[in-house]
Structure 1
Amino acid sequence: MAGLRPAAPRAAEDELLLLQRQALAEEEAAKAKRELLTRFLQEKLSREEQSSRWGLHKVCTLWRSAQRKTKDEELRQDIEILSQTFTRVMDCKDSAIEALVTELKEAEEQQNRALRSHLHLTDQLLQLQRCRLGYLEQGFSAQVGALKAEFEAERKAMLEQQDWESCCLQDMALAMEQDHARNEHEALLNFQSARDDIKNKARGAQGSIEGLLGLAGEIQTARRSYAQATEKKKVEFEELKRKCEKTSCEIDAQAKKLQKLQENEEQTQRIRDERELALQKLQKLRAQISQAGATAHTHLVTLTCQCSATLKVLRQVVEKAQRILRLAEMCRKLETQEEKVLPFYASSLAEQEQQKARRVLEETTSEPLAQALQDYVGLERFWQRFNKAKLEEKGLERARAALADRNQELRRLLQQYLAGATINQKVPKDPHPLLTTKQKLHPQK
């Protein structure tokens, strides 16, 4: 019993060691198996990746060849369509060019006719202006001649009146001198007769005087004494008498001169008044002449300004017409064949509605807006084409917007298609749909 007790633990240890060895061997076998499986899976994965790359390359090659064939057919069809379209467009362009050449010739003829008419009207206007200026110059010359003749006649009348008045004054002076000489002669005759009478009386009284000589001697003596006493006063008296006579003569002469001066002043004043009246008339005539000249100059300036303004307006009208013709030519180039054949579309109104519209247009109205619309009835064709062009423009804008939306949609679809068809040469993080499908078909063993 004692010998069996130590053998039992040893057997247990051996079993334990054996179990450990078996566990280690199994673990090493499992590890080797895992390594072998891992290597096998890696090789299988590399083969699968290589086969998938070759398959994708083959698929892309086949897809590209199919796309090339389809694109080639589409391009050939497009080329045929474009060639036919180009031929039609060239035919349309040739016909349009021929029509434009014809219209250009007609427009040149119309422009030449309009230019000739304009030049003819301008020449007529210039001739009319020259005639008017000639008439104005003739009228002005006639007025100036009439004024000169009237002035010369008045001047001649004034000179004749002055000569007549001077002759009258000379006659009056001569008459006054003759009257003075006659009065002087009469006074001299009266003086001589009075002197003779005094001498006769003196002879008659001489006898009585001799009787009185004695008395006269006494008187003479008294007179001498008186003369001696009054000699100085007598001299002064004589001097004063001479001065008085001289002064009276001077006063008479001055009175005569004053009278003559007064008469001359009256005549001079009358002549001055007449001269002032003549000067006033002359100034009025000069003012009328200057006013007539200023009026004629103003009319001439106004007419010149009106002519220049008319020429400017005519130039603007010609430029506007030329611009309209150029725009019409440009628009005609953009017209389609249908628009060239049928430039105006048919009215969408019924016959009764058209008749009603014509009756409304023919009615006379008092409203200013309706009257203004009556003035623009002739532009109805223009508004038809204008509205048609506007409608086509709006339709083209909408079609362009729709085509832009369609283009964006096609671009988006094409991008999605290319994103699904393109294969990245590197290994993607997410598996490709083809690889995923192949892995599902060939699961890992």
Structure 2
Amino acid sequence: MVNVSILHLQLCFSHTACLYRVFCVLERLPCQYVLGLSVCAYTDSARKDYWENQGGALKGCYIVWTVSLVLKMPAVKKRSKRGGRKKVLSGVELERMRAEESEKRCRQLMLLQSRLREIVSEEKEMSNAVSGAIDARWMRFLRECKQRELVAEIEVLRRTFEATLDRKEGFAVTLREELNVAEEQCRHAFRSHMDVLSSLLELHSARTKDLEAELDANVTEMQQDFEYERAELELKHMIEMDDLRLILENMATEAEMLEKKLQEETSEGYETAAEKMDEAMREMEADLNKVEEGLRGELDSRYKNFMSTAQANMKEYTEKCKEDQETTERIAAQLRKIEKLQTSVASWRTNIARNAKEWESRNSGIEAERDATLAHLKRLKGKMQRWRELQSKALVELVKEANATEEALQETSKRASRILRLVELCKPMETEREQVLFHEANISSAAVEAETKRRIAAHGSGNEPDDVLSGGDAAPAANEQWLSLDRFWVKHNKVVLDNAALTQERFLLEEENRMLQEVLKQYLDDVSISDEVMRQSNTLLRTQAANPNVVQAANARDSSGVRGYNVVEGNKFVNDQTRQAIGH
């Protein structure tokens, strides 16, 4: 006869190595046969409900296995009350029975080990088959997490882009205002330039008139000098020609008189006359030669003087002609310049007359635009003043909320430090069972009391039959062992996840504190005036949506009904657990 005891265990394994350890423990159990081992994986919803009941918030990090063990234990034979005397066995029979029993035990152990090896191989195959689905679900979960992160990043980028767009629009408005001011300055400079240009044109026209008058005076003076010198030269030439004519006439009259005297004398006597005539002729020729030589010398000297003076006058005349030609060329160039200036002045006058109406319309439009700009500036100033008042009120509210939050956080920190001190003081006084039961959220006090009463009743009934004791104590011992292991892992998981959640919450609070400090600094820079603030960019034209704080985010999650879970990277956690298992 054998006792059949069926154990239903619910185990949590983070890796298949834990399952191998279970098999090693099963090999050490005092069991005769292991008839079957069924393993099934819970679904995601069942796993999540289970771990939410356990007090954790895991997603895809663990697999819950249900192990059903069917054990057949050898029953202890009852001693017969009717039986007579005990059969006395010899030493050889006892030795033979011990040998048979040891061989039987060895065969049973070998069968058990072979069966466990087959189960291990089947479990490996099943784990390989299930790991693909687990990896797929884990990847789907990671994709969802990554999608949420990307959506949050896109939202942050959108807000940043909106703030940048607002800042650029404000910058464009300032640039348009500066452009309008620059255009006004350009128009003012153009008007002043036109005034200066008109004054320069008037000055140039006056200067050209003065130069023309001076040139006309110089030309008339030169013409008068030229005419005066020409008249003097003509007068000298006429006087010299008259002298030469007079000399020639005197010579002709003297020759006629001599010829008459000779004719008269010839009438008296030809010979005497001829002789006298010859003598007179010779004397006259000598005298005439002398006179001719004197006249020729005088004429040559006068001619030379005249030619020298004429050449000098001719050179001076040619030089004056060249100067006159150059002067006429300069006068022609000046006249051409004057004509060009007159044409340009006429064109400018026509342009001014043509553009006068256009400039008047533009000036009126500019004045209207200036009035509209001033009105818009007044409205913007009023709006900015109202916005500053609202921001000051918001800052006051923010400071109040920050002070209240700081006080609440200080109270929470004091309470947490007090709790930690109490925990440190209470740790040495707790038993191992109390330390394990402290982290079991799914075990009620009624279940604990029922378990305690059952154990007391089991220990108190010492006169029960041996088969009841042997059949009723094997299962609680095994259950106690695996429940302790399960409690240990629950405690370990809770501590690890609490640490991860605290780290993440600390990071979020630090980030929120930094953002609040930046917002406060920006507001103080906006409402205060200093050299550093004036050197920085103008932040009044930038808008930025405020991110919700931790309390607002928690209230939003509670109002939406969506519960968040702390996420732990599965591969890292499995590797840590494997290293811990190997270390133990």
**TM-score under structure 2 length normalisation:** 0.34
More helix by share: 1
More strand by share: 2
Q: Specify the structure having the higher radius of gyration (Cα).
A: 1
**TM-score under structure 1 length normalisation:** 0.43
